[in-house]
């Protein structure tokens, strides 16, 4: 009898422990220490209740991310085989569904208010004068330079506007706006290819490496990129290869958890290349569309930076080709940001720029000078601290944001 009671007690303890592992953590990820490779722990979102519901039956807010992943295994080794009840998602486990990326810039362009009031309105005020004198043209030039448009593009805009002096003299306010939008769009590189390389290639996930100095908004941007991709219906794995600061990995994990995206992270100080490798390996195994890897930006020497980024790329490419390398730049740092950017472009083959914090600057013309000086297209822009305040860059919508609508 005593033996039977002990056996029942043991079964009950095992049941409680098992359920606790699957449901009771109040988090949407489960740590799989038995998946850990040297210095790397893996987190993955809770799998949907088995059997997996077809997409149309998934609860509102759930995303397809995490689909195709192996179910979470019980953690503790030697745990007695217990018939666990199916893992029911806790009531708070509802993944957010970010909006698709299309049209985001149009929605967010009012965030360019500071640039609009100095650059757009400044130019419109001068151009609306009846007869434009040399002083007026100088004012146009100064306004463009003050907004960080850069000397070459400023000269181009002024020359083109001067050839249209006769048109300007008789233009209505609406015509003036349209003309200015046209001229600004022309210097924003409307024909540049801004496609993000996130597609699977040769049966492997697309890999996006995100580089940049710390404080530029890199980690936040990786989280926002995950949301852009999930919003566009893609499955994603995140790699927290910024192992200098534990908080960066925590931050990334939180971004991922909100949209049901798995984050691979290492212990503080772990080799960034091994975390990046592990993230891509996980993405290959899980057959996701894209793996996005955050890297550290606080290397003080150029050779250190080159070595580390070069190693990350080499190691990652043993698994899957890097399809996009994005450089994150803080728009409020102006020319300093461009100098820093050059160091990165010498270290890795940067294929696109993300300009963050454009909502906090009057120097929206920085997009023009960054593209011209680095010869790399701006692909995404940050227009706020909100989770979905990252938009694909569209030259015309941006120029419209700079000039503003008639009633603004
Ligand atoms: N206003 C505004 N703030 C932003 C934008 N993008 C990022 N930020 C803020 O910039 C700050 C720095 O962002 P992080 O992502 O921590 O910067 P980081 O480059 O990863 O820095 P480390 O992790 O220290 O390397 C955070 O407070 C972000 O919310 C943006 O587009 N607009």
Q: 212 labelled as ligand-binding?
A: yes
The domain that holds 257 is classified in CATH as 3.40.50.300
Instruction: Clarify whether residues 210 and 183 are in a common domain.
Output: no
User: Is 135 inside any structural domain?
Assistant: yes
Q: 189 labelled as ligand-binding?
A: no
Instruction: Clarify whether residues 242 and 311 are in a common domain.
Output: yes
Confidence of residue 64 (pLDDT cuts 50, 70, 90): very low
Instruction: State the SS3 of the chain.
Output: CHHHHHHHHHHHHHHHHHHHHHHCCCCCEEECHHHCECCEEEEEECCCCCCCCCHHHCCCCCCCCCCCCCCCCCCCCCCCCCCCCCCCCCCCCCCCCCCCCCCHHHHHHHHHHHHHHHHHHHHHHHHCCCCCCHHHHHHHHHHHHHCCCCHHHHHHHHHHHHCCHHHHHHCCHHHHHHHHHHHHHHHCCCCCCCCCCCCCECCECEEEEEECCCCCCHHHHHHHHHHHHHHCCCCEEEEEECCCCHHHHHHHHHHHHHCCCEEEEECCCCCHHHHHHHHHHHHHHHCCCEEEEEECCCCCCHHHHHHHHHHHHHHHCCCCCEEEEEEEEEHHHHHHHHHHHHHHHHHCCCCEEEEECHHHCCCCCHHHHHHHHHCCCEEEEECCCCCCCEEECCHHHHHHHHHCCCCC
Q: Label residue 1 exposed, middle or buried (CB < 10 Å: 0-12, 13-18, 19+).
A: exposed
Instruction: Clarify whether residues 287 and 157 are in a common domain.
Output: no
* Closest atom of ligand 1 relative to the 383 alpha carbon: 31
Residue nearest to atom 7 of ligand 1 (CA): 217
C-alpha to C-alpha distances, 91 to 23, 48, 64, 76, 221, nearest whole angstrom:
10, 13, 18, 25, 28
Structure ipTM: 0.94
User: What pLDDT, on a 0 to 100 scale, did the predictor assign at position 306?
Assistant: 83
State CA 55 to chain mean position distance: 25
For the chain, the farthest-separated pair of C-alpha atoms sits apart, in whole angstroms, at 106
Residue nearest to atom 9 of ligand 1 (CA): 217
Last residue of a domain, one of 187, 218, 248: 187
User: Is 338 inside any structural domain?
Assistant: yes
Instruction: Clarify whether residues 286 and 328 are in a common domain.
Output: yes
Confidence of residue 302 (pLDDT cuts 50, 70, 90): confident
Q: How far is the CA of 222 from the centre of ligand 1 (A)?
A: 10
Q: 90 labelled as ligand-binding?
A: no
Instruction: Clarify whether residues 127 and 229 are in a common domain.
Output: no
Beta bridge partners of 209: 293, 325
Backbone phi, psi, residue 407, to 5°: -90, 5
**Per-residue model confidence as pLDDT tens digits over 7-38:** 555 544 444 333 333 322 323 333 333 343 33
Going 109 to 161 to 179 to 168, the CA torsion angle's sign is: positive
Instruction: Clarify whether residues 330 and 276 are in a common domain.
Output: yes
* Closest atom of ligand 1 relative to the 360 alpha carbon: 1
- Decide which of 230 and 16 is more confident: 230
Last residue of a domain, one of 131, 153, 187: 187
Number of domains in the chain: 2
User: Is 198 inside any structural domain?
Assistant: no
**Per-residue model confidence as pLDDT tens digits over 165-223:** 888 888 899 999 999 999 999 999 999 999 999 999 999 999 999 999 888 999 999 99
Q: How far is the CA of 156 from the centre of ligand 1 (A)?
A: 33
Instruction: Clarify whether residues 178 and 260 are in a common domain.
Output: no
Parent domain of 180:
107-187
User: Is 43 inside any structural domain?
Assistant: no
Going 214 to 387 to 268 to 66, the CA torsion angle's sign is: negative
**Per-residue model confidence as pLDDT tens digits over 244-290:** 888 899 999 999 999 999 999 988 788 999 999 999 999 999 999 99
Q: How far is the CA of 404 from the centre of ligand 1 (A)?
A: 26
* Closest atom of ligand 1 relative to the 389 alpha carbon: 31
Q: How far is the CA of 221 from the centre of ligand 1 (A)?
A: 7
C-alpha to C-alpha distances, 322 to 47, 264, 277, 280, nearest whole angstrom:
28, 17, 12, 10
Instruction: Clarify whether residues 340 and 215 are in a common domain.
Output: yes
User: Is 348 inside any structural domain?
Assistant: yes
User: Is 22 inside any structural domain?
Assistant: no
Residues with CB under 6 A from ligand 1: 214-220, 242, 245, 248, 297, 356-357, 359-360, 382-385, 389
Q: 76 labelled as ligand-binding?
A: no
Instruction: Clarify whether residues 225 and 351 are in a common domain.
Output: yes
Residue nearest to atom 30 of ligand 1 (CA): 357
* Closest atom of ligand 1 relative to the 356 alpha carbon: 31
Q: How far is the CA of 100 from the centre of ligand 1 (A)?
A: 22
Q: How far is the CA of 145 from the centre of ligand 1 (A)?
A: 26
Q: How far is the CA of 219 from the centre of ligand 1 (A)?
A: 7
**Per-residue model confidence as pLDDT tens digits over 89-131:** 455 668 899 999 999 999 999 999 999 999 999 999 999 998 8
The domain that holds 166 is classified in CATH as 1.20.120
Residues 6+ apart with CB under 8 A from 24: none
Pocket mutation for ligand 1, best pick of 217, 240, 250, 357 (most atoms within 8 Å of C-beta): 217
Instruction: Clarify whether residues 217 and 173 are in a common domain.
Output: no
Instruction: Clarify whether residues 181 and 215 are in a common domain.
Output: no
Q: 214 labelled as ligand-binding?
A: yes
Residue nearest to atom 13 of ligand 1 (CA): 217
User: Is 325 inside any structural domain?
Assistant: yes
Is 41 a residue whose pLDDT tops 60? no
User: Is 345 inside any structural domain?
Assistant: yes
Pocket mutation for ligand 1, best pick of 110, 209, 215 (most atoms within 8 Å of C-beta): 215
Last residue of a domain, one of 156, 187, 218: 187
Q: 294 labelled as ligand-binding?
A: yes
Q: How far is the CA of 358 from the centre of ligand 1 (A)?
A: 12
Q: 215 labelled as ligand-binding?
A: yes
Segment 295-317 shows an average pLDDT of 86
Instruction: Clarify whether residues 176 and 216 are in a common domain.
Output: no
Token duo for residue 128: 């609306």
Q: How far is the CA of 328 from the centre of ligand 1 (A)?
A: 10
* Closest atom of ligand 1 relative to the 213 alpha carbon: 19
């Amino acid at each position: 009898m005593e033996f039977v009671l002990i056996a029942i007690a043991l079964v009950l303890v095992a049941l409680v422990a098992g359920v606790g592992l699957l449901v009771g953590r109040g988090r949407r990820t489960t740590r799989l220490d038995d998946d850990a490779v040297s210095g790397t722990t893996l987190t993955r979102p809770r799998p949907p209740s088995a059997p997996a519901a077809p997409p149309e039956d998934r609860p509102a807010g759930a995303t397809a991310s995490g689909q195709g992943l192996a179910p979470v295994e019980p953690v503790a080794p030697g745990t007695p085989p217990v018939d666990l009840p199916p893992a029911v998602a806790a009531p708070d486990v509802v993944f957010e569904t970010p909006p698709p990326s299309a049209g985001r810039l149009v929605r967010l362009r009012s965030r360019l208010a500071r640039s609009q009031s100095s650059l757009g309105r400044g130019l419109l005020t001068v151009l609306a004068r009846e007869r434009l004198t040399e002083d007026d043209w100088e004012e146009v030039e100064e306004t463009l330079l003050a907004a960080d448009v850069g000397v070459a593009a400023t000269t181009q805009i002024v020359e083109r506007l001067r050839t249209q002096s006769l048109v300007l003299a008789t233009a209505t306010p609406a015509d003036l706006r349209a003309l200015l939008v046209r001229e600004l769009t022309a210097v924003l590189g409307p024909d540049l290819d801004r496609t993000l390389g996130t597609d699977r290639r040769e049966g492997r996930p697309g890999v996006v490496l995100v580089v940049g100095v710390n404080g530029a908004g890199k980690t936040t941007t990786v989280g926002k990129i995950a949301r852009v991709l999930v919003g566009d219906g893609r499955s994603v794995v995140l790699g927290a290869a910024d192992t200098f600061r534990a908080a960066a990995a925590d931050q990334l994990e939180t971004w991922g958890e909100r949209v049901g995206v798995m984050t691979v992270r290492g212990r503080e100080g772990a080799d960034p290349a091994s975390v990046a490798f592990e993230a891509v390996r996980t993405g290959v195994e899980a057959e996701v569309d894209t793996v996005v890897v955050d890297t550290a930006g606080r290397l003080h020497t150029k050779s250190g930076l080159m070595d580390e980024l070069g190693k990350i790329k080499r190691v990652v490419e043993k698994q899957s080709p890097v399809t996009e390398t994005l450089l994150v730049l803080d728009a409020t740092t102006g020319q300093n940001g461009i100098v820093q950017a050059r160091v990165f472009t010498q270290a890795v083959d940067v294929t696109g720029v993300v300009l963050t914090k454009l909502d906090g600057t009057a120097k929206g013309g920085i997009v023009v000078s960054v593209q011209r000086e680095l010869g790399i297209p701006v692909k995404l822009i940050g227009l706020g601290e909100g989770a979905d305040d990252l938009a694909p860059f569209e030259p015309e919508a941006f120029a419209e944001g700079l000039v503003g609508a008639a009633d603004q």
